[in-house]
Amino acid sequence: MREFIRQYFPGGEAEFVQADQAGAAASAQQGQKKPEFSFDLKPRDVKAYLDRFVIKQDEAKKVLSVALCDHYNHVRLSLEGKSMPNYAKQNIILLGPTGVGKTYLIRCAADLIGVPFVKADATKFSETGYVGGDVEDMVRELLRRADGDVVRAQYGIIYIDEIDKIATAPNMTGRDVSGRGVQTNLLKLMEETEVPARSPQDLAGQLQAMMELTRGGKRPPAVINTKHILFIVSGAFDGLEKIIRRRLREASIGFGAQQGSYDENDLLSQAQTKDFVEFGFEPEFIGRLPVRVVCKPLSVDDLFHILKSSEGSIIRQYEQDFAAYGIEVFMQEAALRRIAELAAEEKTGARGLMTVCERVFRNFKFELPSTKIKRFEVTPEIVDNPVVNLEKLEAEQARQEHIMLRQMVHEFARRFRESHGLVLRFTDEAADLLVARAREQNQPVREFCAAQFKDFQFGLRLIAANSGQTEFTVDVEAAKDPQKALSEWVVKNYRPPQ
């Protein structure tokens, strides 16, 4: 079999082996007792958890928390055999500009509830039979995320981003395989259908089925029922605000007009089903998304609080990145606010924080691990001009290191006095010269000084015995050639016996 794959499907053997191993693992897991699903969270519990990671979006988090609790309470009751025949699944549509935390909200909620989570991009799908992904692949991916456990996969979360990109264009003629066709296929999944665990187009899956047949007889193919899978879709919906604004204005003009005010900055919260239909969605499709959550654009203050307070702040990542090299970084609040201001100019929401941080810290992350700098403070000046301030930081570090090495020269003199009762006083210029020569020869300063002045205790004792002098100043000339300087001192102070 593997020889056949190697011959006719180059590169496919690894995929076959992986699929075979996955099938064996799934078969082994079927005999293991899985933990039963339990859900006892309340909407306030869910929102409190989301508050730790996502800043602001309070109304969105409230609506989302209620919808999630309603859905998973229904799942729990269904698994306990207490059916709710009149329950309508509360699939969710998230609206809002890019970078406001839509994906992060859902991912955090899935982590809290403990269910499998799959994220997909709507733009990669096309109607079945055409080039592109099949929407049923998301359900199969959910099964993989559930480690082959069909029951767990059947109450997971499927999150589809960029859903606005599959809206049907108003002037579309002919078959729209990536718009209306995908909406129709998604509609089937969102209602209730059974999806085969193995795609007919999945070569690895079909080969795995053949291997299972040879190992122990044919098993009935597994299917995943989508009845309890929660579908959440999101998008920026550029252009929807114009449709809403036009409808609201038309409603306030003419005989019998309804007078009312609305917030121009909060038009998405006024969206109705007919607005989505005019945008390009099928009525049946948008009708299967009854819960509508609007995420607001992020202000500079919001971005600042994300950096400062969110447990998922990008700043935590950068702190960990530097800590891996033993470097401690401290962020001034003024620097965080400056990062937030620059990120707001990017017009990409919280994603702008990553863009700005990468630009600010890229050279620091490249240069500092190779230096002796072990801590630094991020200031607004560093954020505004990272290259110049990195050079200043490195220059300051070099200056501080030189001061420390110069202190080692004076430390050598202190130890010399304690050991021999003789005082060596190094001028700063002499100490600088000794430090420079030690670094040139890649030697520790103390060891270099010990080698340069190893004979001084003998010569200086002779001088002290002859003249009583016990203190000696080492200037630059003496530091250049210590042995010559010592000889001259001895000759100068020598007194022949009377």
The pLDDT mean for the chain works out to 82
Q: In terms of domains, do 149 and 240 share one?
A: yes
State the pLDDT at residue 174.
42
- 21 lies in some domain: no
Q: In terms of domains, do 279 and 355 share one?
A: no
The total number of structural domains in the chain stands at: 3
Q: In terms of domains, do 263 and 279 share one?
A: yes
Q: Tokens 């009525």 appear where?
A: 283
Give the mean pLDDT of 441-464.
Answer: 91
Render pLDDT for 389-444 as a digit per residue (tens, 0 to 9): 999 988 888 888 888 888 989 999 999 999 999 999 999 999 999 999 998 998 88
Question: Above 60 in pLDDT, residue 491?
Answer: yes
Q: Could you tell me which of 292, 30, 270 has the C-alpha nearest to residue 143? A: 30
- Torsions phi, psi of 333, nearest 5? -60, -35
The domain boundary, picked from 271, 294, 317, lies at: 294
List own/partner pairs for 350-356 with CB under 8 A and 24 or more apart.
Answer: 350/99, 350/100, 350/101, 350/104, 350/298, 350/303, 350/306, 351/98, 351/99, 352/99, 352/303, 353/303, 353/306, 353/307, 353/314, 354/314, 356/383
Residue 182: what residue type?
V
Do the beta carbons of residue 118 and residue 138 sit within 8 Å? yes
In the chain, % of residues over pLDDT 90: 38
In the chain, % of residues over pLDDT 70: 81
Find the domain containing 90 and state its range. Answer: 34-192+227-294
Band (50; pLDDT cuts 50, 70, 90): very high
Render pLDDT for 245-293 as a digit per residue (tens, 0 to 9): 998 888 766 555 555 556 666 788 888 999 999 998 999 999 999 999 8
Q: In terms of domains, do 426 and 356 share one?
A: no
What is the pairing mode between strands 223-225 and 194-196?
antiparallel
Q: In terms of domains, do 290 and 304 share one?
A: no
State the pLDDT at residue 404.
85
- 410 lies in some domain: yes
Band (343; pLDDT cuts 50, 70, 90): very high
Q: Per-residue b/e over 167-185, b at no fewer than 16 CB within 10 Å?
A: bbeeeeeeebbbbbbbbeb
Q: Can you give the C-alpha Rg of the chain in angstroms?
A: 36
Q: In terms of domains, do 268 and 363 share one?
A: no
State the pLDDT at residue 14.
47
Could you tell me the pTM of the whole model? 0.68
Question: Above 50 in pLDDT, residue 141?
Answer: yes
Helix 428-440 vs helix 445-452: crossing angle, to nearest 10: 110
* CATH number of domain containing 343: 1.10.8.60
- 18 lies in some domain: no
Interatomic CA distance for residues 132 and 18, integer angstroms:
23
Q: In terms of domains, do 326 and 369 share one?
A: yes
Question: Above 60 in pLDDT, residue 33?
Answer: no
Q: Which residues contact 137 (CB under 8 A, 6 or more apart)?
A: 199
Q: In terms of domains, do 327 and 407 share one?
A: no
